[in-house]
Amino acid sequence: MKGLDRLDEVRAWRAQAATLRVGFVPTMGALHDGHRSLLQAARAHNEVVVVSVFVNPTQFGPGEDLAVYPRDREGDERMLTEEGVDVGWFGTIDDLYPRGFATRVEVPTLATRLCGRQRPGHFAGVSLIVLKLLNVVRPQRAYFGLKDYQQYCVVRQLVADLNLDLEIVPCPTQRESDGLAMSSRNRRLSNEGRRVAPILYAGLAAAKRGFCDGERRASALLMTALRPILDEPRVRLEYLDLVDPRTLVPIEGTVDQGGAVLAVAAHVDGVRLIDNVLMAEDDATTGVR
């Protein structure tokens, strides 16, 4: 694994690898087995794999957890090496947001749904950094986790609207054995927070079981997910929404052939966690683990 910090080094590497097909995994580091699954998918399908590690300040709002976001360069380098990654780009603020930086990138409608209500500038920050990273790395494929479902939708829209010539590959959410979605932020949970955090997935999974058993009423699916979550006093719910998988608009009435995404955001002992499950006709029989 070649560890590079400077943007001009990444550009130089890409220039000499110009004929190679690149799979790219953008991350904010503190890598865990959720990230590992993306690295493995990229490794399996591309000649070379590039991973960026950069905690992007423009996607954090005032009062959010930028200052305490977990950082672990040593652990990250270890995982990149273990997974046979070719280049790890540890981006710097000076390169990515030099003095005088002024441009904004927005995907307005999708960005205002779900997490966008409480995090107004978040997806503009994500869109900006993803576009910048793609412009430097110029991959043929980029890998995104469905754990951040709204982010995946925003990036897909951005890539289509701006005619970027690459494939966006969605990757399934990786979970701990008790169902908790893996996340760098899980490192910040207290023991008690870690104990109760799986309740989010328990609620989503109960609703998905209902869907698999034929329930299609949005209100019933939402109530099923809400019950266990509201019973846990350490969980402060931000939202629980059942939305159209493409537009992210809340579903009223019943889920149709297009399916749904049930998405949750909650603060568990002060740590903000998100999760979601997909409800699709064609996997109605698969159920959840």
In the structure encoding, which two tokens stand for residue 8, read together?
């001009």
In the structure encoding, which two tokens stand for residue 105, read together?
């990138």
Contact 266, 236 (CB under 8 A): yes
Shorter beta-carbon distance to ligand AMP: residue 37 or 58: 37
Shorter beta-carbon distance to ligand AMP: residue 156 or 234: 156
Q: Which of 6, 9, 11, 28 binds ligand AMP (CB under 6 A)?
A: 28
Of the listed pieces 30-38, 44-52, 76-84, 196-204, which binds ligand AMP according to CB under 6 A? 30-38
Shorter beta-carbon distance to ligand AMP: residue 23 or 210: 23
Q: Which of 7, 22, 38, 273 binds ligand AMP (CB under 6 A)?
A: 38
- Provide CB contacts within 8 A for 259, sequence distance 6+: 245, 278, 279, 280, 281
Residue type, 158: L
* Greatest Cα-to-Cα distance within the chain, rounded to the nearest angstrom: 57
Residue type, 178: D
Please, what is the minimum distance in Å from the beta carbon of residue 149 to ligand AMP?
8
In the structure encoding, which two tokens stand for residue 99, read together?
């003095």
61: left (phi over 0), alpha (psi -120 to 50) or beta: beta
Decide: helix, strand or coil at residue 161. Answer: helix
Binding mask 139-178 for ligand AMP (x = CB under 6 A): -----xx-xx----------------------x-xx----
Of the listed pieces 35-43, 75-83, 87-95, 133-141, which binds ligand AMP according to CB under 6 A? 35-43
- Beta bridge partners, 48, equal 22
Interface residues for ligand AMP in 69-128 (CB under 6 A)?
none
Q: Which of 22, 114, 181, 204 binds ligand AMP (CB under 6 A)?
A: 181
Per the residue annotation, which of 35, 45, 122, 267 is the catalytic one?
A: 35
Whole-angstrom distance, CA of residue 9 vs CA of residue 242: 44
Q: Which of 4, 10, 34, 158 binds ligand AMP (CB under 6 A)?
A: 34
Closest alpha carbon to 61 in 124, 147, 114, 108: 124
Please, what is the minimum distance in Å from the beta carbon of residue 170 to ligand AMP?
9
- C-alpha 257: how far from its chain's center? 25
Edge-to-edge strand order for the sheet containing 22-27? Answer: 2-4, 87-90, 48-53, 22-27, 141-145, 167-171
Length of the chain: 289
Q: Which residue is nearest to ligand AMP (CB)?
A: 145
Q: Note whether 52 binds ligand AMP by CB under 6 A.
A: no
Q: Which residue has the tokens 């709204």?
A: 150
Catalytic annotation present for 32: no
Please, what is the minimum distance in Å from the beta carbon of residue 199 to ligand AMP?
17
Q: Which of 134, 159, 182, 260 binds ligand AMP (CB under 6 A)?
A: 182
Q: Which residues are catalytic?
A: 35
Q: Which residues bind to ligand AMP, rule: CB under 6 A?
A: 27-28, 34-35, 37-38, 144-145, 147-148, 171, 173-174, 181-184
